[in-house]
Amino acid sequence: MLDSLYEKALKKKNKINERLKEIENIDVDISEFWNDFPIEESSDNITIAGGDGSLKKNKLLSSIFYAIDAETLIFNEKGLRKVESSEIDIMHYHKHAEDRIRSYMGIFEIKNALKSFDEYEVDLYLFDGSLLGNLIRPFPLEKELNNVAKEKIRENYALHLEKELTSLEVKISSSKFSNDLKNENEMIYLENLENIIVVSDFLKKKK
């Protein structure tokens, strides 16, 4: 860290502490925003679940070290259970690296949900995030790969990725085809295709 930054931190120490006290002393009455709603006990025998994912990344000089995980909590008359999945790896840095890692986390979240459906017959699943956003938000790479290349990838690998879902193994399935593709852009497109296939399969669970 720069010496000049240490010096500035010392000079502004008191001012920053004063600002912190101002923020901490904000008087907010939470009860003004609370809506009382009676929740009655239900006799229905259902299984409810909720899931979320998280990621941690550390950008190095030429690479990114990252860890991703997903967890689903399942509750029914038998008690509380959970499904956990995680991965840790390193990726060389490029302009789409952080987008790829976020995409990995999304894939893990949804595959985790699909696994919980199969193992626990979930009736109601609470999902954190926008599934619609996963489908309509274009990946930054979309304009960098020509349509012929994208069509070829879909023809060669889409069916394989769909079959991978039947194993219920929570992983980035497209990584097994990394040696088959010519360049990184094609690999990223394949990962994006996997994400769309996973979301599509999730949305078929209309029960």
Please write the tens of the pLDDT for every residue from 29-46: 888 888 888 888 877 889
Would residue 164 count as lying in a domain? yes
Would residue 41 count as lying in a domain? no
pLDDT attached to residue 6: 87
Q: How far is the C-alpha of 113 from the C-alpha of 106, rounded, in Å?
A: 11
Q: What is the pLDDT of residues 48-58, one digit of tens each?
A: 999 999 999 99
Would residue 15 count as lying in a domain? no
Identify whether the C-beta of residue 176 lies closer than 8 Å to the C-beta of residue 161. no
Would residue 138 count as lying in a domain? yes
Domain coverage including residue 119: 48-203
Total count of domains within the chain: 1
Q: How far is the C-alpha of 115 from the C-alpha of 167, rounded, in Å?
A: 9
Would residue 21 count as lying in a domain? no
pLDDT attached to residue 142: 66
Q: How far is the C-alpha of 18 from the C-alpha of 186, rounded, in Å?
A: 52
Q: How far is the C-alpha of 64 from the C-alpha of 174, rounded, in Å?
A: 19
Would residue 144 count as lying in a domain? yes
**DSSP secondary structure letters along 85-143:** EEEEEEEE--TTHHHHHHHHHHHHHHHHHHHHHHHH--SEEEE-S-HHHHHHS--GGGG
Q: What is the pLDDT of residues 101-144, one digit of tens each?
A: 999 999 999 999 999 999 998 999 998 777 777 777 666 666 77
Would residue 26 count as lying in a domain? no
Three-state secondary structure call for residue 73? strand
